[in-house]
Amino acid sequence: MSESTIEVLMTMPFSAALVDRVKAVSSRVNVTVQPAVKPEEIPAEVWARTEVLYTDRVLPTPAQAPRLRFIQFHYAGIDYAADSPILRKPDLVAATLSGAVSSQVAEWSVAMMLALGHRLPEMMALQSKSEWPQDRWQQLAPVELRGATVGLVPYGSISREIARLLVPFSVNILAAKRNAMDPTDRGYMPEGLGDPEGNLFKRLYPIEALKSMLKECDFVVVSLPLTPQTRGMIGAEELKAMKPGAFLVDCGRGGIVDHAALLQALQEKHLAGAALDVFPQEPLPADNPIWKQPNVIVSPHVAGVSKNFDAHATELFAANLRRYIDGAAVYNRFDLEKGY
């Protein structure tokens, strides 16, 4: 790659300190920060010179940004952008934020497993009524993590960090993955986190054998990306395959879990409870019956939120920008065929 200036456009309102972190990657980098929510808010001359774009949803047309070669997205899930014409530009590489904020989502997932297993929704309901149940030892008997079997779908960056966090609980980890013959993780993950070599699970299932895994699990955590192949993947058959009394935790994308089937499984008490951070329609409508389910924790799509989000995101962007400049493969390259 030539030694010419690399024009970087950031459409997010990052702090000066974080922008300086990006600038420090190379003396060749010139950063323009132009907060925007629509492409037309970016001046034409800025689009025309931009080679690298950091953005959430602000995407130009190929004609607007003829020099654009690399897009780093601010989110791990970018199904909303999959049909954007700019992603089909032949000489363009796009990358997601996968791995950068996995620790937050993993902590949320473990917190939800503990809350569901230790009957926190039921205890909060009793507290709201100032009720001390006589049969509390039976009614509130927990499903402990110790000795439990936890299924992780898929075994990506979030699941690998969940597995690491669960090590002290002495759980049995089962996982499902598209390519079960390759347990390693080649995506981005901060040093010391996750399970890069694939050493923490008891068994790794191909995704085609998902139902075989589900029947063994006391807790199932879904963190799948949303693609045409994964939409509705956790449907009536999969939920029926789950062990009676199991718990479902969903921190992937809305649309992967069939909520009509989930509601039935909860109401029939086939599942003991669920914690949901994502929904087919967001915000979740006020009249949706999920709100009223006593064995459900509703989380308004905040599992990945953190005051350190932008800092973690900047670390990944800086690493990927360095790799882009060096001509190396960037982390988390978006695959149009796979949809993630």
HEC string of 42-68 equals CCHHHHHHCCEEEECCCCCCCCCCCCC
**Confidence band, pLDDT 50/70/90 cuts, at residue 2:** low
C-alpha angle with apex 253: 296 to 294, nearest 5 degrees? 5
Please report the domains of the chain, with CATH numbers, ordered by start residue: 6-100+307-326 (3.40.50.720), 102-298 (3.40.50.720)
Q: Do 114 and 183 touch, CB atoms closer than 8 A?
A: no
- Rounded Cα distance, 236 and 262, in Å: 7
Q: What is the pLDDT of residues 27-75, one digit of tens each?
A: 999 999 999 999 999 999 999 999 999 999 999 999 999 999 999 999 9
Q: What is the mean pLDDT of the chain?
A: 97
What separation in angstroms does the CA of 71 have from each of 61, 149, 169? 13, 39, 39
Burial of 9 (0-12, 13-18, 19+ CB in 10 A): buried
- Rounded Cα distance, 62 and 100, in Å: 28
pLDDT for residue 299: 98
User: Left, alpha or beta for 232 (phi > 0: left; psi -120 to 50: alpha)?
Assistant: left
Inform me whether the pLDDT recorded for 1 exceeds 70: no
Pairing of strands 219-222, 246-250: parallel
Inform me whether the pLDDT recorded for 143 exceeds 70: yes
pLDDT, average across residues 3-17: 96
Give pTM, 2 decimals. 0.94
Read off the tokens for 11.
């459409």
For every residue of 92-133, DSSP letters joined together read -EEE--TTTTHHHHHHHHHHHHHHHHTTHHHHHHHHHTT---
Q: What is the pLDDT of residues 239-274, one digit of tens each?
A: 999 999 999 999 999 999 999 999 999 999 999 999
pLDDT for residue 222: 98
Inform me whether the pLDDT recorded for 25 exceeds 90: yes
pLDDT for residue 3: 82
**Confidence band, pLDDT 50/70/90 cuts, at residue 6:** very high
